[in-house]
A and B are shown apart, each in its own frame.
Chain A
Amino acid sequence: MRELIEFFRPHLLPLLYALVIVAVLPLIAGYVVLVERKVMADMQARLGPMRVGPHGLLQPIADAVKLLLKEDIIPENADVWIFWLAPLLSVTAGMLALSALPFGPAFQIADLNIGLLFIVGISSMGIFGIVLGGWASNSHYSLLGALRSSAQLVSYETAAGMALVSALLLAGTLSMATIVRVQEHKGVWFVFVAPIAFFTYLVASIAETNRAPFDLPEAESELVAGYMTEYSGFRWALYFLAEYTNMIVVGSIATVMFLGGWLRPFPNVHALDFFDYVPAVLMLAVAGYCLWRAPKQPVTVQKLFLVAVAGLCALVAAILAAPLFGVPYLSKAALHGGFWFLLKVFLYIYVFMWLRFTFPRYRFDQLMRLGWHFLIPVSIVNVMGIGVALVLHRQFGWAKWLAFLVTTVGTLAVAGYLAATDERHETAMVGGDA
């Protein structure tokens, strides 16, 4: 018995982290949905959900309760086992990918030697949830939406993978935590060394998560809801959870590979150490903003609520500032690392939302053309370019900034050539020569 406990002891902390993630993720995904609705409202000059709870903050809870209580409909002649299995596959793939991601120097479930490859593989398994869900629904809309969605995912997966390979060439290792440490060691985030890879990954990851402007397979006006048409109630909630989990995963991958993970800007430059105060100052600014807006609220509950939020933000600011003033037991690396990581992931997801509410939807043939004719060639050229830059720097002794500048300009030239010579077909999709 004792040796059984001793055997499991090193696995207890990762197990705790895994339980925390599995328990907290649906709640976080629900609040990301609320943030998206509020951001959408802000960009459309309105207020968004305001009724349920102060400023609509209990809206995700209301949505969750409604979805749990809905009638569970299974279409006639649908394959019941696969119908049941498909949303589970999507959610499992999303959650498994979260297990290899470092949310800070101290919060990672498993630092795999092949972390990046594992995450790419698990993300490619999420396609099955979509394809099998669409097929099992025994409905034309679902099957078409599923096939289109998976074709889109497969096409952009290549481009995303190669963009990650560019950053991988710079890092020299597949382990996610080590990639962040390499960025710390070199003192520069990889987005400044390989910006084209970052933008390729940004676009490809929007397509990977079926977000607008690449959301044709699940757009309401096009295919009802694509592969999710026949799913109602909690099964649909699982698909939705999977989609937002994928957004968080993709944001985390981009943060680790390109945006320096848990590092603050200019991690090694000691002259800029005042950046360490930025988290606390930011939270204090949020608290101050809440206190400033509190008297202007029409309803007393909302006033009190904003004061409470301000108090919470001030508390978080105090916790973040504490390690800088020598308070023991609070690790600066863990707290600040977690804060910077979450901030960067949130900014990445905010860009996703921003793009969603700004651009119209791509038609499916335009989407495939963008993926195959533009993004994949640019990714390939980028990988070769980064290789050339590394050889120029290491073997021929060019300065680092010069080598990577030349590479970026060369890749941009190729991208510009591809964009300029792309014959756009304005014919209708049916019978068009695509």
Chain B
Amino acid sequence: MLDKVVFYFFAGLAVLSAILVVTRRNVVHSAIFLITALLATAGIFLQLHAEFLFAVQIILYVGGIMVLFIFVIMLVNLDVALHQVQFNRQTLLALLLTLALAAQLGLGLRLGRSVMFAPARPGPLEPNTELVGRTLFQNYMLPFEIASILLLVAMIGAVVMAKKKV
């Protein structure tokens, strides 16, 4: 029973925060609601017994990416932007198409449920961190190394982009 309460709490918080992210006029408010949405997602991860991903989500996403977002928002914040139109000209069309997409995906989920949702076989997911570490460094070593090169490239790219041209 507590399971359901926790799930609906985090799910409701995530969806509500996400709606507020895309509708706020003030960009800083959007950023704060995105932080709330990310924390709610971390809660969902924890409920799915993915402890390591829960901690990684908080450290990387909330503590890293969102701090970066807030820095940039403060650098590019224009007061005049608060009074301009927030939604662009294609809003109605976008809404219709997105609802069509959502309906399609939802229909796909409903129709495929007998095949997709086999009864759960909770396999060896504990101890979570050790298992993630072991699998990451034994089976997925190459993607790990490529991800580190990707991060290096991104770091260099971001520094070059944001530097003042002297």
Contacts and interface: CB of A to CB of B under 8 A. Distances in A.
Interface residues of A, number: 25
Contact of B32 (A125, A127, A132): A132
Chain A CB count within 10 A is highest, among B56, B58, B128, for B58
Given A118-B55, A128-B70, 9 more contacts: A79-B26, A81-B29, A112-B51, A113-B51, A127-B67, A131-B67, A147-B71, A150-B67, A154-B67
Contact of A7 (B2, B51, B74): B2
B74 A125 contact: no
15 contacts: A79-B26, A81-B29, A114-B52, A114-B129, A117-B52, A117-B56, A118-B58, A120-B55, A121-B58, A122-B58, A124-B58, A124-B59, A125-B58, A132-B28, A174-B129
Given A121-B55, A128-B67, A174-B129, A135 B74 contact: yes
A112 B29 CA distance: 32
Interface string A91-130: 0000000000000000000001110011011101101100
Nearest to A122: B58
A143 interface: yes
Interface in A51-107: 79, 81-82, 85
Contacts of A147: 71, 74
A81 B32 CA distance: 11
B63 interface: yes
Given A82-B32, A131-B70, A132-B70, A113 B64 contact: no
Nearest to B130: A173
Contacts, number: 66
Contacts of B54: 114
Contacts of B32: 82, 85, 132
A348 B95 CA distance: 57
B35 A128 contact: yes
7 smallest A-B Cβ distances: which pairs? A124-B63, A121-B58, A117-B55, A121-B59, A114-B55, A114-B51, A121-B55
A384 to B, nearest CB: 15
Contacts of B67: 124, 127-128, 131, 150, 154
Interface extent on B, as a size class?
20 to 34
B18 interface: no
Contacts of B20: none
A81 B30 CA distance: 13
Nearest to A120: B59
Interface in B17-51: 26, 28-29, 32, 35, 51
Interface string B53-97: 011101100111011001100100000000000000000000000
A150 to B, nearest CB: 7
A127 B29 CA distance: 17
A372 to B, nearest CB: 12
Contacts of A7: 2
B129 to A, nearest CB: 6
Nearest to B26: A79
B12 interface: no
B106 interface: no
A113 B127 contact: yes
B48 to A, nearest CB: 14
